[in-house]
Chains A and B, each alone.
Chain A
Amino acid sequence: DAKTTQPTSMDCAEGRAANLPCNHSTISGNEYVYWYRQIHSQGPQYIIHGLKNNETNEMASLIITEDRKSSTLILPHATLRDTAVYYCIVRVVSSGSARQLTFGSGTQLTVLP
Chain B
Amino acid sequence: NAGVMQNPRHLVRRRGQEARLRCSPMKGHSHVYWYRQLPEEGLKFMVYLQKENIIDESGMPKERFSAEFPKEGPSILRIQQVVRGDSAAYFCASSPLRGDTEAFFGQGTRLTVV
Contact = CB atoms under 8 A, between A and B. Distances in A.
Partners in one complex: yes
Interface string B47-68: 0100000011001000000000
B42 A105 contact: yes
B69 interface: no
B30 to A, nearest CB: 10
A103 B45 CA distance: 8
B85 interface: no
A42 B107 contact: yes
Given A98-B31, A100-B33, A46 B102 contact: yes
A101 B33 contact: yes
Q: Which of A49, A95, A96, A101 has the most CB of B within 10 A?
A: A101
B105 A43 contact: yes
A21 interface: no
A78 B51 CA distance: 39
Contacts, number: 58
B95 A44 contact: no
Contacts of B31: 98
Contact of B102 (A41, A49, A94): A49
Given A45-B105, A104-B42, A98 B99 contact: yes
Given A43-B91, A44-B43, A106-B42, A98 B103 contact: yes
Nearest to A38: B43
B21 to A, nearest CB: 13
Interface of A: 32, 34, 38, 41-46, 49, 93-106
Given A45-B105, A98-B95, 14 more contacts: A42-B108, A43-B107, A44-B93, A46-B102, A96-B98, A97-B55, A98-B31, A100-B33, A100-B45, A100-B56, A101-B43, A103-B35, A103-B42, A103-B45
17 contacts: A34-B102, A41-B89, A44-B105, A46-B104, A46-B105, A95-B99, A96-B97, A96-B98, A96-B99, A97-B99, A98-B103, A99-B56, A100-B45, A100-B59, A101-B33, A103-B44, A106-B42
